[in-house]
Amino acid sequence: MRGRDRLAAMKTEPIGSIPRPPALIQAMHACASGAIGRDALDAAYAAALKDTIERFEATGSPVISDGEQTKPSFATYPLAGIGTLAPDGVVIPFADGHTRQLPRLTAGPFRYGVHADSFLKAARNYAKKPVKQAVISASALSLLYPADGIAGYPREAFLADLIAEARADIRGPLDAGAAAVQIDFTEGRLSLKLDPSGGLLRVFIALNNQVLDGFSAAERERIGVHVCPGGDHDSTHSADVDYAGLLPDLFQLNVGRFYLQMASEKDRRRVLRIVKDRLKPDQFVFIGVIDPINPAIETAEQVRERVLEAASILPLAQLGTTDDCGFSPFADDTSTARDTAFYKIRARVEGTALAARELAL
């Protein structure tokens, strides 16, 4: 294939979440308070999903997502309807002082209440373009198990159940025709803050690889992993952790795609050189060229320069673009305007195309 043809098709994909429209957020609160019923909430979900997909496709993005409109968060969607949870689980602190708290599992066996293929199938009722599906990592959900254990349900049994459920969560969208399945692994960088030795990170990598062992090499080409320092209410949980501590272990994950936060990184060229040293010939890397936390909307020209910077270091045949993170990983996060998210996505698409044309000269 000639260079111009190859580069004209430089891949670009979103990470996933889009801020929910005000009408949906109001409906969610109204349903929680009992002011409206579940049917009314489901209608609000459907309207938000349809609008999100139409606006996503209007940006020109060749691959879209459902915007995670019907998820409570990127991390906790599998827990819907599970009755064996207590609210006092692991607390995740953010740099601005706010926190998020996971629930705590109180009894086994562990089973997902919702699987990700349900979101994909709903999105494909409206979508005309390929749809990717984000799933939460097994390592993130491993944090549900309490440190002091659960009587009659040892950790080993929990992990076996978790691995089976996490595989099914990936398998469903793959079999349903997802363009790609993206494993959200934001706890990877955070783990180095909790355990600077890297021991916890390696435990997480090993657990996720056990899940991935259930897929063929061809299937793993459609499976990727996303890492970032968190993004919630315009704050992060681990931006102060050096990428150099994460990347050597990260590239041991048995996936074909890596979606890396990069636009907001202070020394991108240094990190890109580390990526180059670790990237294997059969792996593809999507570099973040949009910063969802920054309220300023990037121009296509700014994106082009970020792509050209990455292309000066990484192999072109293994390079694509993405956003640093989702725009609203938690349903109640309204720190980024919905319009802003779509403007930024359009800038990514147009800037990637500008860079591709320039690189093809």
Residue-wise pLDDT for 291-346, tens only, equals: 999 999 999 999 999 999 999 999 999 999 999 999 998 888 888 899 999 999 99
Predicted pLDDT at 20: 96
Mean per-residue pLDDT, 230-256: 90
Average pLDDT of every residue of the chain: 94
Residue-wise pLDDT for 180-231, tens only, equals: 999 999 999 999 999 999 999 999 999 999 999 999 999 999 999 999 988 8
pLDDT band at 6 (very low <50, low <70, confident <90, very high): very low
Q: Which domain holds residue 317?
A: 3-359
Cβ within 8 Å of residue 199, ≥6 positions away = none
Among the residues of 35-78, which ranges form H helices? 38-58
Predicted pLDDT at 104: 97
Mean per-residue pLDDT, 2-28: 80
Dist CA 104 CA 141 (whole Å): 10
Predicted pLDDT at 69: 96
| Distances from the Cα of 283 to the Cα of 18, 19, 132, 133, 169, angstroms | 27, 31, 18, 19, 22
Predicted pLDDT at 333: 83
State both tokens at 324: 């640093």
Dist CA 32 CA 38 (whole Å): 9
Indicate whether 3 pLDDT > 80. no
Dist CA 221 CA 178 (whole Å): 12
pLDDT band at 45 (very low <50, low <70, confident <90, very high): very high
pLDDT band at 2 (very low <50, low <70, confident <90, very high): very low
State both tokens at 338: 């919905």
Q: What is the pTM of this model?
A: 0.94
Predicted pLDDT at 4: 37
Least confident of 32-46, 48-62, 224-238: 224-238
Q: Read off the CATH number of the domain in which 315 is found.
A: 3.20.20.210
Predicted pLDDT at 238: 83
Helix (H) or strand (E) holding 225: strand 223-227
Number of domains composing the chain:
1
DSSP 257-300: EEEE--TT-TTHHHHHHHHHHH--TT-EEEEEEE-TTS-SPPPH
**259 CA to centre of own chain:** 8
State percent of the chain over pLDDT 70: 98
Dist CA 145 CA 190 (whole Å): 18
Dist CA 10 CA 296 (whole Å): 25
CB 92 within 8 A of CB 101: yes
